[in-house]
Amino acid sequence: MVLILLSYKKFIAALLWGCFFLISCENDIHEVQSLSKQPLNVEVMDTVISYLSQGGKMKAKLSSIYMVRTQDTLPRVEFPKSLHVDFYSDSATQESFLDARYAKYYEGRNQVFLRDSVRVFNIKGDTLWTNELWWDQGQQKFYTDKAFKVWQHDKYIVGTGLEAGQDLKWYKMKDVNNSFILAPANQFPQ
């Protein structure tokens, strides 16, 4: 009888300890899910100036008032408030520059997604406007499938879909419409 009572007490003790752990280890499912959604590593910086170089030559100078760098499955750098980039030639003279209200740089792909009032200017005064633009740093070009406007000294071109060099010296336009060319009056027959 003593043996049954002793084993009964052990059973009750084990049952109480088990209930204690079940009750005390409570996790809210929403809290656990929110922890797993948070990025692993986030760096935030104010007033950023960064220089890009290739082959020991400065190619671009980036400046922004706010930057967020996230290290997770797809490392990226976001510029949620604005981005300004000055582009330089091999002789370190400024060729062009761009402004955008938002940018996201994908580190593994070497590409930057730009959106919201994107403007690119070159030293000749040519200007590209669009609301969405991709910048491929490796190929030193811009491209978009969205609407764009290009202003040159003698042309105003409107269309959808564009590819251009980052110095705006060349363009490939897909669907051009509502455009015009300014010609001097002496080029028309009288």
What does the pLDDT look like over 114-131, one tens digit per residue? Answer: 999 999 999 999 999 999
Q: Report if residue 20 sits inside a domain.
A: no
Q: Report if residue 144 sits inside a domain.
A: yes
Task: Tell me which residue range forms the domain holding 96.
Answer: 40-182
What does the pLDDT look like over 76-112, one tens digit per residue? Answer: 999 999 999 999 988 889 999 999 999 999 988 889 9
Q: Answer whether residue 38 shows pLDDT above 60.
A: no
Q: Report if residue 102 sits inside a domain.
A: yes
Q: What is the pLDDT of residue 35?
A: 58
Number of domains within the chain: 1
Task: State the CATH number of the domain containing residue 164.
Answer: 2.60.450.10
pLDDT category of residue 32 using cuts at 50, 70 and 90: low
Please calculate the CA angle 175-176-178 and round it to the nearest 5 degrees.
140
Q: Report if residue 190 sits inside a domain.
A: no
Q: Report if residue 34 sits inside a domain.
A: no
Q: Report if residue 29 sits inside a domain.
A: no
Please state the pTM of the whole predicted model.
0.71
Q: Report if residue 173 sits inside a domain.
A: yes
